[in-house]
Amino acid sequence: MSAQSTVIKTNTVPRLRARKGGEPIVCLTAYTAPMAQLLDPHADLLLVGDSLGMVVYGLPSTVPVTMDMMIAHGAAVVRGASKALVVIDMPFGTYEESPAQAYRNAVRILQETGASAVKLEGGVVMAETIRFLTARGVPVMGHIGLLPQSVNTSGGYAALGTKDTAGWDAIIADAQAVAAAGAFSIVVEAVSEPLAVRVTESIDVPTIGIGASAACDGQVLVIDDMLGMSNRTPKFVKRYAELGVAIGEAAAAYAAEVRSRQFPSEAYTYRLKGDNRGPGGTGT
């Protein structure tokens, strides 16, 4: 096997599941092919999150995100990734009604994007649906803890299990139910570190933390958050770059040069072949 073929060898669901307790799994969100190409060499898993509703479309939450949005961006990410496993969020309202509804929509996502798995939110209440999907060949990533799609009923994005241990048992039960139903990994969002430890120790599939401490088997961040391209920075986000500032500065420099006619200069202007006139075409 050549070095090239080794590099582009695609991660698979069984390989990711087998990482439980091993080298931490690196996961980032991606919404476009160019970003997927940049992240692919470094990430084990690329999540096409319904966070694109806020990040890409400027929506107030993930609730208005549609299947068509997820499929369009999911297909783009799949085209840009050659190594990382690509997982796509199922949007709000596309899987809660029944296992049959979830299956139809999950199959559509996988068929129209080429992704390897879907992700859905919910614990004990979604176990039957997850079991239905996995029994029929649809790999599922679970999501417990803070559930962004349920923001209208939860009342906000507050971290869970930080004040006391009340509610811990329910979240642990959610993790166990989702794992027992066949999910190959579970995102654990915005919970206290000791609760994340308990959750991770209580199941035999990898936990992927987002605001859930290093106790998890892997980590995920929204790419725009970690690159400094979002206005709001949650407590659990480390900004590894400040691309938002850099983009603003670049746009300001461009605007100034356009207005002063410094751009495009001669170096960026097409001439007829054989035209040796100087800048501006004034001749000699």
Banded model confidence at residue 154, pLDDT cuts 50, 70, 90: confident
249 is in an annotated binding site: no
Q: Let me know whether 175 and 115 are in one domain.
A: yes
What is the number of other CB atoms lying within 10 angstroms of the CB of residue 164? 8
Q: Let me know whether 195 and 267 are in one domain.
A: no
Give the C-alpha separation, 193 to 214, whole Å: 8
2 is in an annotated binding site: no
- Alpha-carbon Rg for the chain, nearest whole angstrom, is 23
**pLDDT of res. 4:** 34
CA distances from 181 to 130, 146, 200, 241 (A): 6, 20, 16, 39
Q: Let me know whether 155 and 109 are in one domain.
A: yes
Q: Let me know whether 235 and 250 are in one domain.
A: no
Using one digit for the tens of pLDDT, what is the confidence trace for 42-72? 999 999 999 999 999 999 999 999 999 999 9
Stretch 17-24: mean pLDDT: 97
Q: Let me know whether 9 and 87 are in one domain.
A: yes
Non-local (6+) Cβ contacts of 67 within 8 A are 91, 94, 105, 108, 109
> Which pTM value belongs to this model?
0.92
Using one digit for the tens of pLDDT, what is the confidence trace for 223-270? 999 999 998 889 999 999 999 999 999 999 999 999 999 999 999 999
Number of structural domains found in the chain: 2
What is the number of other CB atoms lying within 10 angstroms of the CB of residue 247? 13
Percentage of residues in the chain having pLDDT higher than 90: 86
Residues serving a catalytic function are 189
Non-local (6+) Cβ contacts of 219 within 8 A are 24, 25, 26, 27, 208, 209, 210
Using one digit for the tens of pLDDT, what is the confidence trace for 24-44? 999 999 999 999 999 999 999
Banded model confidence at residue 282, pLDDT cuts 50, 70, 90: very low
Q: Let me know whether 34 and 133 are in one domain.
A: yes
Strand stretches in the chain, DSSP E: 25-29, 45-48, 85-89, 117-119, 140-145, 185-189, 207-210, 218-221
Q: Which domain holds residue 36?
A: 3-241
Q: Let me know whether 250 and 201 are in one domain.
A: no
Tokens 């476009």 sit at which residue?
Answer: 32
Q: Let me know whether 252 and 178 are in one domain.
A: no
89 is in an annotated binding site: yes
Q: Let me know whether 234 and 252 are in one domain.
A: no
Residue 2 has pLDDT above 60, yes or no: no
